[in-house]
Structure 1
Amino acid sequence: MNTRLLTYFVTLAETENFTRAAKRLHIAQPALSVAIKKLEQQLEFPLFHRNERKISLTHEGEVLLKHARLILQQINDANIAMAELKGLEKGEVKLGVPSMLGSYFFPEILMGFKSQYPNLKLTIIEAGTQSIRQMLLDGELDLGVIHNEDVPERLETEHLITSQMVAVVSEGHHLASLKDIGFEDFFKEELVMFKPGYFHREFIDEVCQSHHFIPKISFETNLLPMILNIVRHNFAISALLELVTEHEKGVIPIPFKQPVYLNIAMAWRRNGYLSLADRAFIDFVKKQCG
């Protein structure tokens, strides 16, 4: 077994199709088929169920996939570490950020970091906290901003901020004059929500499950500007981090009677390699939040 065969195997597992996998790997499809058969012969296990249109992993293939991804990620980490010793590291930080924090908390931090380290490249991926966790585990991101709760053991975290989750209504909404709001009154209203996978939606789903509420979700989108416009035009209400309402006109924040605070953290793979650029970014963010 070698890394080339493992790379072919992982790519085929992800694409579930020999043609797509061969195209991504820039090799001929027959060459890929021969390589996979060679790997299966070495291991003495079938790794894929095959049919004309789609393939799927066998149980043995699923076991190998977990190890193969870790092995390839560790090799990539080693290459980055060696490149840095030679002064060849380009200096890139791949960061996953939820939209609320990406829009209101991180812009000044990112611009400040870029001013201090102009030669380093920042790649920002907007996604929900569940997706960010998985991308970190899969090695697709170096760093990620997540809800610091039920964090997988393979991730290390550094606390950034604590922010309150509040109900958000338009200035003309009948609830706008309230000093606080109970969950029961909140869930009587038409709601506009992020799709599942965002910590904002996780909060809503957890409250509904624990209090046996059935939410009236009229709109579902991952576009924060759309959520805010729907609220402003009084079509629905939502629940967002208070820091959002501090920067937006035409919406009113209402704290919940049972205050809800979310702990937000920076996360990275516990056993992964942090490049010099990654470590510089973590240190910079810690100073800004300290």
Structure 2
Amino acid sequence: MEFRQLLYFVEVAQHKSITKAAEQLHISQPALSKSIMALEEELGTTLLIRTNKTSHLTDAGNVVLEYARKMTGLIDEMKLTLSDLTNLSIGQLNIGLPPFIGSLFFPRVMAKFHKAYPNIKLDITEYGGARIVKSVEEEEFELGVAVLPVDEEIFHTYPIVEEEMMLLVHQDHPLASRKEVDIKDLKDEVFIFYHEEFALNQIIRNHFFITAGFEPNILFKSSQWDLMSEMVAANLGLSILPRSICNRLFTKDTNIIRLKPTIMWRLAVITKKGRYISNAGRAFIDFILKDPL
């Protein structure tokens, strides 16, 4: 059964005439008759009683007409919904965010995006950066925000933030008066560090501490930057945090120091290559690239 046959049948039922329906549909009368007969044959019942001037529905024809109208209505609804999606009148977007990033940048971004696209629903899940990368690859999320680098053979990346990581120390620490500290000088220090599920854990540990020749002495691991900074303020250890987070600290008990070599914090929206990205997803990427964090 073809959907076109149902459309033709509805038209004949409305006009009660194959001739008038054919004129309305801009097809020949024999072609329309053939289509209706094929539909009757497939359904195994007579749908129309044909006379010289009119065509009347049988009981079976009335049943088919009822369902045909429902189906044509659903098709019209589908087309309208697709049109709304295309024009971003409606939509849903699943985003994975690391907690650091969500609390730091995204309330403002989400508010502006919602104002621009009020009918797009945002479904936000907070995971550590490493888990977000895995979840985008496994297509749990349409897009995520991750710390670079990621495997660019697997992901498209859209950079949104680049800033320096800073050393946070208690004001009474021997290093507190320094303007810059070499990572090699941190060999004997105690650290408040990132949980393993965070990309920064591996990036800083492997590319900076291990490269400098030592394994960091980690007292405590956390996924919350405010807790990490408060533990530094309590003189329990040192931490390395993005500059924007350090600038938000409201404590007089800590000092912020530059690191050598410089550690950069690079964030990007990531999507999986080869995956379909919805209109809402593309709108979000365009929106955030036009108004960087």
Coarse TM-score class (shorter-chain normalised): 0.5 to 0.7
Tell me the distance in 2 between the aligned counterparts of 1:83 and 1:187.
63
SS in 1 for 2:214: coil
| 1:174-214 CA distance string (max 9 Å, x none) | 32221011112223211111111323212321123222202
Gap change, CA 1:280 and 1:234, over 3 Å in 2: same
Deviates more, 1:253-262 or 1:169-178: 169-178
SS in 1 for 2:277: coil
Tell me the distance in 1 between the aligned counterparts of 2:268 and 2:204.
20
- Give the TM-score taking structure 1 as reference length: 0.67
Note if contact 2:100-2:224 (Cα within 8 Å) is conserved in structure 1: no
Counterpart pick for 1:255 among 258, 269, 289: 258
Runs of 4+ in 1 over 6 A off after TM superposition: none
Is 2:130 the partner of 1:124?
no
Aligned to 2:181: 181
Aligned to 1:85: 82
Aligned to 1:232: 233
Count, aligned residues: 210
Aligned to 1:217: 218
Aligned to 2:275: 272
Note if contact 2:146-2:268 (Cα within 8 Å) is conserved in structure 1: yes
1:145-164 to 2 correspondences below 5 Å: 145-164=145-164
Tell me the distance in 1 between the aligned counterparts of 2:239 and 2:203.
12
Tell me the distance in 1 between the aligned counterparts of 2:248 and 2:209.
28
Tell me the distance in 2 between the aligned counterparts of 1:83 and 1:132.
34
Structure 1 residue 131: deviation in Å? 0.8
Gap change, CA 1:204 and 1:179, over 3 Å in 2: same
Gap change, CA 1:118 and 1:172, over 3 Å in 2: farther
Gap change, CA 1:172 and 1:230, over 3 Å in 2: same
Is 2:198 the partner of 1:201?
no
Tell me the distance in 2 between the aligned counterparts of 1:242 and 1:139.
32
Tell me the distance in 1 between the aligned counterparts of 2:80 and 2:173.
58
| 1:198-243 CA distance string (max 9 Å, x none) | 2321232112322220211000121222212111111111111111
Gap change, CA 1:232 and 1:82, over 3 Å in 2: farther
Aligned to 1:139: 139
Deviates more, 1:269-278 or 1:92-101: 92-101
Return the letter of the residue paired with 2:211: S
SS in 2 for 1:226: helix
Structure 1 residue 271: deviation in Å? 0.9
Tell me the distance in 2 between the aligned counterparts of 1:122 and 1:128.
19
Larger Rg computed on CA atoms = 2
Gap change, CA 1:275 and 1:176, over 3 Å in 2: same
Q: Considering only aligned residues, what root-mean-square deviation do their CA atoms show, in Å?
A: 2.2
Tell me the distance in 1 between the aligned counterparts of 2:187 and 2:79.
55
Deviates more, 1:187-196 or 1:134-143: 187-196
In structure 2, the gaps of 5 or more residues are: 1-77
Note if contact 2:169-2:233 (Cα within 8 Å) is conserved in structure 1: yes
Aligned to 1:101: 101
- Give the TM-score taking structure 2 as reference length: 0.66
Structure 1 residue 83: deviation in Å? 9.1
Gap change, CA 1:185 and 1:93, over 3 Å in 2: same
Return the letter of the residue paired with 1:193: F
Tell me the distance in 2 between the aligned counterparts of 1:128 and 1:195.
8
